[in-house]
Structure 1
Amino acid sequence: MKLSKNRGYVTLMTAQVISSLGDWLSIVAIITLVGLKWEATPMQVSLVFLCLALPMALLGPAAGTVADRMNRKLLMMMSDLVRAGLFLVLAFAETLWLVYLCLFTIGAFSAVFVPAKNGKLKELVAPEHMKSAMSVTSMIDSSTKVMGPLLSGLLVAAFGAKIVFFIDSASFFLSAIFIFLLPKSLETLNEEQGEEGHRFTFKHEFLTGLSFIQRDSFIVMGLAFLGVSLLILQLADSQIIILIRDLSTASPDLFGYIVTASGLGMFLAGWRLAKKTDYRAFPNMLAGVSGLGISFAMMGVCTYFDVAFSILWGPLFGLTGGFAASHIFVPFQATVQVETPVHMTGRVFGVINSVMTIATIIGPLLGGWLASQFGAVPTFIVTASILVLISFTGYLAKNKVERGRVHGTESQPGTPGATTS
């Protein structure tokens, strides 16, 4: 069955579009509320992002285990409905501490939603279509990342932050409705149940998931490449505005153009990988790491020499950087999705989500420190060189990594054990 004919998959992707747009809609509204209306300090604004990211970083592996033990459809609906309610609370919040509490809880339920969604995707999509499905997921993420803040900014300017929180709440409620409409699956016996049908303990299942990851060199190495690349990507992204400030002539809108071009590059890469699914994951990841490094290096070099027409080369390298980044993330996650048994998908993607979130927390902080100590241009060039060096090191280890892919034959399509959807 083609993906476009798979009703469950289309319904799940519709829910993802709505909830992802809701995620990004809230960012501008929250910053407007905290930073402008309440005149919060830079540290207080930073805590906004930390409250969203920290629970996802800390709870990822445990949340993934929960997603493997429980009804994934129910978990996703509960997560959306709770977040919908919390955004309503934010609309009437009067203190920073209430905002922090709501955002931390939203982050915690997002930590459950992500592995549950990936597990549900494994249930609904046949292995031969999984790479295309993950590419489409990436296209949705990159599109909403660009459109969400833009739309939110327009709405905040026109109607104020409160109305955006109402719209955000409605988006999560609508997403929950679409998840409710997902087709049911047959209940099957969990592969991790004991001989008498009793489940193993939460601790046992948690450790089994970690053991599964440790035994597969592709997942271990790929996760290392993913984490380091995302850390440097976030490091550079957070300092682009500082980098272009060193240019003698730069459009005030240059930063926005670079970010938009980066999102477009990620979208185009997702579209390419959705069409061409017979790729080898690890070589694509190595090319992506190298391409990302070269893009950042060229930004640094062009800024150092104060090259004219930054309105052209800035977005161009943003485009190539986004295109390269997707060739790291999409092949890795698609291959892991294909090769991971359905009853372990939540745990594996819980760990992946945790690593990615930790990188997004550390990256901007490290970038700020490096740029303040050594300057933006050296920071870009040095970190870009590290990416190229990492890519070369990965090439030397390529054969060993690909020989270590031992789980591909274990992956089975279908439903998770002891759950209905």
Structure 2
Amino acid sequence: MKPKLKLNKNFVTLITAQAISSLGDWLSIVAIITLVGLKWEATPMQMSLIILSLAMPMAVFGPVSGAIADRLDRKKLMIISDVVRGILILLLTLASSVWMVYIILFATGIFSSVFVPAKNGKLKELVKDENIKGAMSLTSIIDSSTKVLGPLISGILVSSFGTYNVFYIDSATFFLSALLILLLPATAKEPLNNKQEGKQASSLRSDLQEGFTFIRQSSYLMYGLFLLGISLLILQLSDSQIIILLRELTNVSPDLFGYAVTSSGLGMLITGIVLSKKTDYNAYLYMCLGVLGIGAGFGGMAALTYLDLALSIVWVPALGLVVGIAAGLVFIPFQSAVQEKTPVHLTGRVFGVINSTTTTATIIGPLAGGTLATVIGIIPSFLITSSLLIFLFFISLIFRNKVEQEDEHVTESQPGTQGAASRQIN
């Protein structure tokens, strides 16, 4: 962690709460997928619905939740979200059918849709503009680290104490996260003039429109969001079906899925560490390369599964590592750029729009992926995913110069945006 960020005690508290909550998330997600996918032998469509149950609330309520996060105290919203999610996770211990899991995950997703924009807005409050890229890389490192540790710890706990004990631990992490967030300062409010009072009294509809309008002003944000959304849509065609693909192998270990998730998290961790030290990178180019890497990783996984290659315990995690590194190149640069370009008073609305767009992709993707795998088979569906991502890479390179040049023009014609944001938090 950079010295300036180390000295920011509120930022350290925020990312500590994030780390604890994220670790619990991965504990329960892996346990649920293992329970439903392996023990209950779920169909491809049922696996898609697991992802859908968590994703749909973010897509449907994302923009509204973002606007709410800009209107209300973000600290209180995060605490409420953590406490309610902790209670909901406890209810998973009572689940006896896949439909009960769907309902509980859907309710959890509703409160997650509030937490995410509130957390991003709070980070913008606590960190100065010149440290945003480093802060975003550190939050990505935390997410990736918990993705690595979560499946490993979950596997040990499930095998030692049973699946449902993992849910108790996950619930406790949400409550602990809420206690840490209590230590954060409330949102500082400045005296409002008449113009600002009128704006604050505006309708929720106009708040939502303002988030869309801000994104449309930047060619980079518009095409970057398009690239991210389409990449996620194509990725989710196969990502939700990995455990189905692994069942095609002759000798598949029950722990192989956990290893794949762990290695992909390690890949994102590596990317986050590298980008936290190198903050002057070309974000758009990195996103393009990330799309290519994800496509290559999935294509290789499908090909080796078709060949039923031995030592899957080696090559599956290796390809997961490649996909994780590539995914980090797509997600981290874009989120850092959004934080840099967005004023603090708009972060909830902008991230609400972004989360809604990307989560819509994660809804359509698993459903289409489940259907595609059922109709043409799991291996062909992975090959289609790989081909589409590689094609998207070449299309993105064609538009690279146009997007970057137009974005530079917009930035030069709108000076002071970040300065205005800084004044609001000082």
Short-chain TM bin: 0.7 to 0.9
Q: Structure 1 pair 150/189, CA: closer, same or farther in 2 (3 Å)?
A: farther
**What secondary structure, in the 3-state scheme, does the structure 1 residue paired with 2:145 have?**
helix
- More off after superposition, 382-391 vs 233-242: 233-242
User: 1:198 Cα deviation (Å)?
Assistant: 5.0
Distance 2:97 2:241 in 1: 30
One-letter identity of the residue aligned with 1:411? Q
One of 76, 79, 83 as aligned partner of 2:78: 76
User: 1:316 Cα deviation (Å)?
Assistant: 2.4
Note if contact 1:29-1:161 (Cα within 8 Å) is conserved in structure 2: yes
Distance 2:373 2:102 in 1: 28
Q: Structure 1 pair 300/33, CA: closer, same or farther in 2 (3 Å)?
A: closer
| 1:144 matches 2:151 | no
Cα deviation digits, residues 225-280 of structure 1 (max 9, x gap): 11121223232323334445555666665444333221211110111111111111
One-letter identity of the residue aligned with 2:160? A
The correspondence of residues 44-55 of structure 1 with structure 2, limited to 5 A, is: 47-55=49-57
Note if contact 1:132-1:277 (Cα within 8 Å) is conserved in structure 2: yes
Q: Structure 1 pair 75/404, CA: closer, same or farther in 2 (3 Å)?
A: farther
Residue in 2 that maps onto 1:321: 323
Distance 1:33 1:250 in 2: 16
- More off after superposition, 406-415 vs 316-325: 406-415
The correspondence of residues 393-412 of structure 1 with structure 2, limited to 5 A, is: 393-405=395-407, 406=410, 409=415, 410-412=417-419
Q: Structure 1 pair 315/173, CA: closer, same or farther in 2 (3 Å)?
A: closer
User: 1:36 Cα deviation (Å)?
Assistant: 9.4
The correspondence of residues 103-114 of structure 1 with structure 2, limited to 5 A, is: 103-114=105-116
The correspondence of residues 6-405 of structure 1 with structure 2, limited to 5 A, is: 6-28=8-30, 30=32, 47-91=49-93, 100-184=102-186, 186-188=188-190, 194=196, 198-246=200-248, 253-305=255-307, 309-405=311-407
Cα deviation digits, residues 87-138 of structure 1 (max 9, x gap): 3444456787765554332211110000000001111112222112111211
Q: Structure 1 pair 404/84, CA: closer, same or farther in 2 (3 Å)?
A: same
TM-score (norm 1): 0.87
User: 1:62 Cα deviation (Å)?
Assistant: 0.7
One-letter identity of the residue aligned with 1:400? K
Distance 1:392 1:96 in 2: 40
Note if contact 2:47-2:240 (Cα within 8 Å) is conserved in structure 1: no
Distance 2:96 2:243 in 1: 31
Q: Structure 1 pair 71/300, CA: closer, same or farther in 2 (3 Å)?
A: same
One-letter identity of the residue aligned with 1:280? N
Q: Structure 1 pair 98/322, CA: closer, same or farther in 2 (3 Å)?
A: closer
Identical pairs, percent: 55
Note if contact 1:68-1:343 (Cα within 8 Å) is conserved in structure 2: yes
- More off after superposition, 107-116 vs 220-229: 220-229
Distance 2:398 2:6 in 1: 39
Distance 1:31 1:383 in 2: 22
User: 1:309 Cα deviation (Å)?
Assistant: 4.7
- More off after superposition, 288-297 vs 163-172: 163-172
Q: Which runs of 5+ in 1 are unaligned?
A: none
Distance 2:82 2:48 in 1: 25
Equivalences, count: 417
Distance 2:284 2:27 in 1: 34
One-letter identity of the residue aligned with 2:60? L
Q: Structure 1 pair 274/32, CA: closer, same or farther in 2 (3 Å)?
A: closer
Q: Structure 1 pair 104/369, CA: closer, same or farther in 2 (3 Å)?
A: closer
Q: Structure 1 pair 100/250, CA: closer, same or farther in 2 (3 Å)?
A: closer
- More off after superposition, 244-253 vs 319-328: 244-253
User: 1:35 Cα deviation (Å)?
Assistant: 8.2
Distance 1:196 1:273 in 2: 41
Distance 1:81 1:253 in 2: 31
TM-score (norm 2): 0.86
User: 1:415 Cα deviation (Å)?
Assistant: 7.9
Distance 1:313 1:355 in 2: 33
User: 1:354 Cα deviation (Å)?
Assistant: 1.7
One-letter identity of the residue aligned with 1:60? G
Distance 2:360 2:404 in 1: 26
User: 1:282 Cα deviation (Å)?
Assistant: 0.5
User: 1:171 Cα deviation (Å)?
Assistant: 1.3
Distance 2:38 2:306 in 1: 34
Q: Structure 1 pair 102/367, CA: closer, same or farther in 2 (3 Å)?
A: closer
